[in-house]
């Protein structure tokens, strides 16, 4: 099976390709792929939303039934007023055009007292009736509008037209709005149409005769009726589950980020808030709400409202970084209050009225108090920022924007009426909640990206970030040591920091090494150690890094001279460098409960010791420290084609070891000897 091993090795990604994963070409390719998928998803979602919007515009009936035209009779039919299911109909039937009791009732469905009067009829009947004028009937016939849109009836009901029962339904079996077909012959007869609905208030809801809610009732064409059903299906089924998915994904993202860093309390509360919003969206769908009876569902809705306000409050406190005591005492109090409220008001209608009040008064206060906490922290940080040169500017801006978001949601809830009215129902699709969550997701992801960038340039190597450390890495070790670095220390000591110029010089060396795909293992005083993992051009990359280090140090000295900084008799910064082939291994050192990244030599030789010996020999070659020299073992010189100053020279280190070396000045370009790539 050796051919499988060879195949796997030949197809495995080499180190140079791994290093290019974060490069511009790789990022551009991945970005193009993700952009294509994002465009596809966006076009699909936007198309669906536009279709729903178009259906909403085309769903209004051709002949509207004015809401003020619905008369209400808050009693059951008397024995002599009973309506028959067969003809001839009883002339005293309440749905009969001959009986004016319903049609001339003094009570209107649009009266403010209508909701309270209906609440008093729980378990009993009440009647609604309206008369379509001859002009309306003629208009319906001309437009072929033979679909009667009534909307939602949250109770058992019977629909009568001119004394004839044309439909009936039960609350538990009704999941869609009522849309009834009428005979075109009925419309062709002309004259008035008397429409009556007998409602049995047994559903337990506050609006058993909800009808069109914020939409309109009337006679519609088949196209208008289809658009009406489509948009209602979108509102009741598609939209809640779509937002459920968005909130669930956002909440899961925050949860993962919090799991990666438990000290990020904001992520934990954002996860809880987003997942709770996902639960609210799911609970608003018919698939979930019909699992409970109306009384239970109304009480659960009140608990949800209390908890939503609490979530908003603690979210603001978490972002404002309030003291721990607020959460230790506040969270149990709200949890107990919600549970107590569930058992405190068992009556379904009263519970639903309380729910309307909670949504209009209590929940907004939770958002507004959370916003006030953010504004208070913003004010405090703004005062501190004046004395600390804007160090808190980013946090002040984010707190301010987050507080504005919470405040906007609170105000949008507050404008809802606290007194429910069946004819003034307002729908709130929670778009602002979604905008807030998406904004916070963008803030968190930006912080995460910033942290990742800092981590990429931290001393922790990419090898130490792997879950399993590699056992060995083959490549070339580069050690560069600045000569006469004491001149930099003396020059910068006049500024009050003797190591500042050395640090700047090392940063130039770091940049040159990283730009040539090297991994800086350590920085010690005025020297750096860099590792170049083996590929087809390892030696060339290492030698190019040496040349760039030389050029960058020359530019650094010129900049210092332009600023009037004198380095004594030294006109240029010289350095010694060495390249050693071998194997190394990343390790973790344990010390007092902490873990620190480190490196150890692997294989038959110790590359770190070899590099130190070669640098010691370099001091014998240039005792006056006037040149920048590269010293390598003779075996490595055969693989690197450049202008060598010495070849096959034998020198003895201070430990008595004899090394055969090659020496080159850092001023000539290099290439690899054919067939001897490192």
pLDDT of residue 657: 80
The mean per-residue pLDDT over the stretch 208-237 comes to 86
316-338 pLDDT, tens digit each: 888 888 888 888 898 888 888 88
322-344 residues labelled b (16+ CB within 10 A) or e (exposed): beeeeeeeeeeebeeebeebeee
Query: What is the distance between the alpha carbons of residues 150 and 146, in angstroms, rounded to a whole number?
Result: 13
pLDDT of residue 438: 75
In the chain, DSSP finds a helix count (H) and a strand count (E) of 22, 20
The mean per-residue pLDDT over the stretch 453-461 comes to 61
Query: What is the distance between the alpha carbons of residues 195 and 180, in angstroms, rounded to a whole number?
Result: 12
580-625 pLDDT, tens digit each: 998 988 888 877 666 788 888 887 888 888 888 888 888 888 787 7
CATH topology assigned to domain 63-220: Jelly Rolls (2.60.120)
pLDDT of residue 571: 62
pLDDT of residue 449: 67
Share the mean pLDDT of the chain: 81
The mean per-residue pLDDT over the stretch 404-418 comes to 74
pLDDT of residue 499: 63
Query: What is the distance between the alpha carbons of residues 190 and 139, in angstroms, rounded to a whole number?
Result: 10
81 contact partners, CB below 8 Å, separation of at least 6: 90, 92, 93, 94, 99, 101
Query: What is the distance between the alpha carbons of residues 339 and 59, in angstroms, rounded to a whole number?
Result: 41
Confidence category of residue 647, pLDDT binned at 50, 70, 90: confident
371-391 pLDDT, tens digit each: 999 898 888 877 766 655 555
543-594 pLDDT, tens digit each: 889 888 888 888 888 877 777 666 665 567 788 899 999 898 888 887 766 6
Strand arrangement of the beta sheet that strand 147-151 belongs to? 63-64, 218-220, 147-151, 178-181
Query: What is the distance between the alpha carbons of residues 221 and 140, in angstroms, rounded to a whole number?
Result: 8
Q: What distances in angstroms separate CA 406 from CA 373, 402, 432, 439, 526, one per listed residue?
A: 10, 6, 9, 12, 52
Tokens of 69: 């035209």
Tell me the whole-structure pTM to 2 decimals.
0.62
- Cα atoms in the Cβ-side hemisphere of radius 13 Å centred on 456: 11
79 contact partners, CB below 8 Å, separation of at least 6: none
Residue ranges of domains in the chain: 23-57, 63-220, 230-456, 473-672
Return the percentage of the chain with pLDDT > 90, whole number: 14
The mean per-residue pLDDT over the stretch 31-57 comes to 79
The torsion angles phi and psi of 149, rounded to 5 degrees, stand at -95, 115
Confidence category of residue 107, pLDDT binned at 50, 70, 90: very high
Query: What is the distance between the alpha carbons of residues 237 and 389, in angstroms, rounded to a whole number?
Result: 53
Closest CA to 70 of 225, 211, 191: 211
Question: In this model, does residue 274 exceed pLDDT 80?
Answer: yes
Tokens of 496: 């009050």
The mean per-residue pLDDT over the stretch 79-83 comes to 88
User: Three-class SS of residue 160?
Assistant: strand
Q: What distances in angstroms separate CA 44 from CA 39, 53, 229, one per listed residue?
A: 8, 14, 21
The mean per-residue pLDDT over the stretch 82-105 comes to 87
pLDDT higher at 457 or 26: 26
Query: What is the distance between the alpha carbons of residues 205 and 149, in angstroms, rounded to a whole number?
Result: 21
Q: Cβ distance 464 to 597 under 8 Å?
A: yes
- The span from the first CA to the last CA of the chain, in angstroms, equals 29
The mean per-residue pLDDT over the stretch 297-324 comes to 86
Question: In this model, does residue 674 exceed pLDDT 50?
Answer: no
Of 3.30.1160.10, 3.40.190.10, 3.30.70.1230, 3.40.1360.10, which CATH number belongs to 473-672?
Answer: 3.30.70.1230
User: What phi-psi label fits residue 460: left (phi over 0), alpha (psi between -120 and 50 degrees) or beta?
Assistant: beta
Query: What is the distance between the alpha carbons of residues 642 and 579, in angstroms, rounded to a whole number?
Result: 14
Tokens of 644: 């060598």
Q: What distances in angstroms separate CA 370 from CA 306, 307, 362, 404, one per listed residue?
A: 14, 14, 13, 10
Confidence category of residue 136, pLDDT binned at 50, 70, 90: very high
Tokens of 223: 């196209």
pLDDT of residue 103: 93
Confidence category of residue 493, pLDDT binned at 50, 70, 90: low
pLDDT of residue 1: 67
pLDDT of residue 672: 40
Tokens of 64: 């509207």
The mean per-residue pLDDT over the stretch 257-271 comes to 78
Query: What is the distance between the alpha carbons of residues 463 and 584, in angstroms, rounded to a whole number?
Result: 11
The mean per-residue pLDDT over the stretch 651-656 comes to 78
Q: Cβ distance 371 to 401 under 8 Å?
A: no
The mean per-residue pLDDT over the stretch 299-325 comes to 86
pLDDT higher at 384 or 534: 534
pLDDT of residue 450: 64
pLDDT of residue 190: 83
The mean per-residue pLDDT over the stretch 638-648 comes to 83
Return the percentage of the chain with pLDDT > 70, whole number: 86
User: What phi-psi label fits residue 468: left (phi over 0), alpha (psi between -120 and 50 degrees) or beta?
Assistant: beta
């Amino acid at each position: 099976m050796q051919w499988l091993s060879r195949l796997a090795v030949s197809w495995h990604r080499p180190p140079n390709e791994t290093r290019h994963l974060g490069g511009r070409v790789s990022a551009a390719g991945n970005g193009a792929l993700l952009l294509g998928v994002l465009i596809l998803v966006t076009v699909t979602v936007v198309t669906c939303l536009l279709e729903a919007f178009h259906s909403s515009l085309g769903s209004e009936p051709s002949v509207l039934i004015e809401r003020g035209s619905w008369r209400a009779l808050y009693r059951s039919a008397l024995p002599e007023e009973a309506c028959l299911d067969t003809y001839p109909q009883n002339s005293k039937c309440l749905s009969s055009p001959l009986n004016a009791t319903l049609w001339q009732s003094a009570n209107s469905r649009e009266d403010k007292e209508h909701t309270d009067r209906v609440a008093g009829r729980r378990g009993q009947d009440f009647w609604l009736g309206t008369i379509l004028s001859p002009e309306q009937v003629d208009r319906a016939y001309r437009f072929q509008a033979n679909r009667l849109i009534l909307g939602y009836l949250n109770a058992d009901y019977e629909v009568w037209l001119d004394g004839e029962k044309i439909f009936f339904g039960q609350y538990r079996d009704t999941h869609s709005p009522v849309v009834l077909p009428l005979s075109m012959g009925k419309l062709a007869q002309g004259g008035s149409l008397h429409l009556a609905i007998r409602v049995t208030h047994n559903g337990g809801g506050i609006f058993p005769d909800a009808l069109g809610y914020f939409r309109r009732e009337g006679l519609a064409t088949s196209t208008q009726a289809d658009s009406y059903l489509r948009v209602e299906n979108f509102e009741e089924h598609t939209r809640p589950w779509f937002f459920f998915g968005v909130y669930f994904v956002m909440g899961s993202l925050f949860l993962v980020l919090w799991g990666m860093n438990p000290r990020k309390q904001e992520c934990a509360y954002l996860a809880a808030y987003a997942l709770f919003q996902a639960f609210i969206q799911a609970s608003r769908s018919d698939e979930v709400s019909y699992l409970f009876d109306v009384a239970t569902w109304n009480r659960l809705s009140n608990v949800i409202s209390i908890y939503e306000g609490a979530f908003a409050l603690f979210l603001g406190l978490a972002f404002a970084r309030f003291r721990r005591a607020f959460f230790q005492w506040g969270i149990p109090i709200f949890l107990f209050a919600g549970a107590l409220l569930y058992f405190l008001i068992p009556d379904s209608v009263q519970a639903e009225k309380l729910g309307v009040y909670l949504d209009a008064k209590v929940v907004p206060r939770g958002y507004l108090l959370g916003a006030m906490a953010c504004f208070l922290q913003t004010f405090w940080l703004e005062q501190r920022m004046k004395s600390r040169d804007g160090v808190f500017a980013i946090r002040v801006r984010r707190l301010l924007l987050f507080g504005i978001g919470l405040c906007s949601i609170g105000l949008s809830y507050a404008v809802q009426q606290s007194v429910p009215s069946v004819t003034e129902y307002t729908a709130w699709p929670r778009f602002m909640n979604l905008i807030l969550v998406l904004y916070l997701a963008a803030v968190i992801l930006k912080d995460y990206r910033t942290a990742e960038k800092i981590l990429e340039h931290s001393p922790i190597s990419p090898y130490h970030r792997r879950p399993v450390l590699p056992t060995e890495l083959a490549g070339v070790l580069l050690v560069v040591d600045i000569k006469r670095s004491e001149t930099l220390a003396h020059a910068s000591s006049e500024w009050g920091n003797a190591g500042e110029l050395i640090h700047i010089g090392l940063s130039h060396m770091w940049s040159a090494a990283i730009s040539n795909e090297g991994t800086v293992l350590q920085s010690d005083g005025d020297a750096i150690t860099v590792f170049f993992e083996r590929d087809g051009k390892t030696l060339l990359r290492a030698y190019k890094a040496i040349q760039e280090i030389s050029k960058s140090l020359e530019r650094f000295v010129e900049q210092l001279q332009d600023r009037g900084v004198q380095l004594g008799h030294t006109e240029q910064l010289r350095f010694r460098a060495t390249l050693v082939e071998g194997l190394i291994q990343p390790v973790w050192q344990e010390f007092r409960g902490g873990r620190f990244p480190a490196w150890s030599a692997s294989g038959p030789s110790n590359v770190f010791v070899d590099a130190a010996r070669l640098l010691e020999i370099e001091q014998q070659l240039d005792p006056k420290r006037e040149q920048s020299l590269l010293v390598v073992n003779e075996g490595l010189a055969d693989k690197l084609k450049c202008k060598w100053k010495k070849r096959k020279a034998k020198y003895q280190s201070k430990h008595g070891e004899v090394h055969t070396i090659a020496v080159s000045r850092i001023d000539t370009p290099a290439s690899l000897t054919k067939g001897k790539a490192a």
